[in-house]
Amino acid sequence: MKWPMSSVAGMTVIILYCVFTFSSLVLFPTAHNPITNWLSDVGNSLYNPRGVILYNLGCILTGIALLPNV
């Protein structure tokens, strides 16, 4: 079965975001709990000083990848 390029690109972008987010979660200094923490806490330099660059870089790269071809 041949997948359309847009489907492959969409899955790649989702995987890209998840890899950077979970890598940043590994560096989170305390146990991350969705009841007490927001996802944006992972990208906050006060809460996650070591992993903030990974999360923010993942968001930036995901945004660039989702830009339409002009």
Tens of pLDDT along 39-70?
889 999 999 999 999 999 999 999 998 887 55
Question: Residues 43, 24: contact at Cβ < 8 Å?
Answer: yes
Backbone angles phi, psi at 2, to 5 degrees: -100, 125
Is pTM, for the whole model, over 0.95? Answer: no
What confidence category does residue 22 fall into, taking pLDDT thresholds of 50, 70 and 90? very high
